[in-house]
Structure 1
Amino acid sequence: MAAGFQCKQFFIGHQHCAMKVGTDAFLLGAWVRIPASGNLLDIGCGSGILSLMLAQRSQGLQPITALDLDAGAVRQSRMNVAASPWPSAIQVLEQDILTYQPAERYSLLLCNPPYFHQAVPARDAARQLARHSDSLPWPQLLQQAAQLASDDADFALVIPDSSVSLLLQAATLAGWQLKRLCRVQPGPQKAVRRALLQLSRQPAVPEYSQLCIQQSDDQYSGDYRQLLKDFYLKF
């Protein structure tokens, strides 16, 4: 397996991470709307891909905090951040989000969370932690995110499409409102598999959209190319 992924403005090494760089993170990092100002929080940062995408999009002008429980992921993120064009914009902490108590509040929180409910356990303990929601139940995640959020903050996630209703129920109980929802399908003849959600602390009229990654000829769609054009070398 490749040691990492070269983007247009930075390189993501992932050899020390349980979960490697994948499409989900790229989709979320490119799709989420970033506030004009305020602190940003990357929950369960892994290799640091989301933090680096946020740093590129904000030109390194907004402070970003990246958290992960896994020491290997934290080490990897720090290496990737140090080698990037924005080393001073991102602080990487080895920290449990459920016990994290910073002085500041965040204008945007985002997470590519563990979401394999009742799945076969992974053989590797670090991979188990990264893949399974037992370690980070959605109700607790959403409640803690609300505690860390500013009054007008957003919280963005990528999850299986089949779990949207379950997550939105938990989000409502934690005081989040749906702001944006994009359903993602691999190809035109394939079922929707992922959902990108942006939640808000303020009342919002939800925006709905759908993204198809590939066309019927197995080439990347124009919408997907447009979304990732600032990151993928091939686009």
Structure 2
Amino acid sequence: MFRFKQFTIQQDRTAMKVCTDACVLGALADVTADRILDIGTGTGLLALMAAQRNPDAFIDAVELDDAAYSQATENVAASSLGERIQVIHSRIQAVGGEEKRYDRILTNPPFYTNHLRSPDGAVNRALHTDDLPFPELIEVVGRLLKADGQWWVLLPPYEMGVLTQLAEAMNLRPFRRLHLRHHARKPVFRLISGLRYGAEAVTDETLDIYEPDGRTYTAAFRALLQPFYLIF
């Protein structure tokens, strides 16, 4: 269980637990929008963070895995934010159509391709791209994102490069990119990119979670997560 200031995440039945990089995505992404889509919601974390940050947004949170869908539904229902979140049990490839497009799409996608498999099928779905390869993900985003919308995605640096190259073919380009490090002496381990159609320039930023001592949270990280973390 992970308690935030305005909601609680139960995660005993989900393969992907609450992690710092996903929380940074949820706190950073632009959610000033009426309709938001969370692809692969897992515990419901990103959907709940978006609902907290934007009291006027309506959010569709899509999840394929049975146990994760059930747990996300319970987490949303237990929250005061849940009236504006719909948890949908489906493959994202089967969701929506011309009549259903979104102002913002949030994605913390699986990214392993050739790594060793877990005997747990839920873990494989959460970590490996089999159920949602990058080309299919980009096709889905192209179908569901409004012309003036934004797609926010979290990936390791190499995988973000692959995804960005594929998205370029659809004229989806980064306009903002956050390089996330544990601290200044460590390499970047995640990138968070905001993409939109026809973006011509990208603003690059770096966020360190800790000071160089590896224990003290940086002021920038504290400020970003202060609305959510009980410790701040």
Q: TM class by shorter-chain length?
A: over 0.9
Query: Secondary structure at 2:62's aligned position in 1?
Result: strand
Q: Which moved more, 1:45-54 or 1:142-151?
A: 142-151
Aligned residue pairs: how many? 230
Amino acid at match of 1:223: A
Q: Which moved more, 1:215-224 or 1:41-50?
A: 215-224
Is 1:149 the counterpart of 2:145 in the alignment? yes
What is the alpha-carbon distance in structure 1 between the residues aligned to residue 181 and residue 95 of structure 2? 35
**2:13 counterpart (16, 20, 24):** 16
Post-superposition CA distance 1:88-111 (Å, at most 9, x none) = 100001011112124321000011
| Identity value in percent | 34
Q: Which moved more, 1:196-205 or 1:165-174?
A: 196-205
User: How much does 1:68 deviate?
Assistant: 0.6
What is the alpha-carbon distance in structure 2 between the residues aligned to residue 224 and residue 108 of structure 1? 23
User: How much does 1:182 deviate?
Assistant: 0.6
**1:169 counterpart (148, 159, 165):** 165
Per the alignment, residue 84 of structure 1 pairs with 79
Is 1:116 the counterpart of 2:112 in the alignment? yes
Is 1:49 the counterpart of 2:41 in the alignment? no
Is 1:222 the counterpart of 2:219 in the alignment? yes
Per the alignment, residue 127 of structure 1 pairs with 123
**1:99 counterpart (88, 94, 98):** 94
Per the alignment, residue 202 of structure 2 pairs with 206
**1:65 counterpart (48, 60, 63):** 60
Residue pair 1:8, 1:232 contacting (<8 A) in 2 also: yes
Residue pair 1:43, 1:67 contacting (<8 A) in 2 also: yes
- Taking structure 2 as the reference length, what is the TM-score of the superposition? 0.96
Q: Structure 1 segments of 4 or more deviating over 4 A?
A: none
- Taking structure 1 as the reference length, what is the TM-score of the superposition? 0.94
CA RMSD of aligned residues (A): 1.2
Runs of at least 5 residues in structure 1 that lack an aligned partner in the other structure: none
Per the alignment, residue 38 of structure 1 pairs with 34
Residue pair 1:67, 1:96 contacting (<8 A) in 2 also: yes
Residue pair 1:152, 1:202 contacting (<8 A) in 2 also: no
Post-superposition CA distance 1:51-74 (Å, at most 9, x none) = 000000002x21100001011111
User: How much does 1:140 deviate?
Assistant: 1.1
**1:195 counterpart (191, 194, 213):** 191
User: How much does 1:173 deviate?
Assistant: 1.4
Residue pair 1:146, 1:175 contacting (<8 A) in 2 also: no
User: How much does 1:112 deviate?
Assistant: 0.5
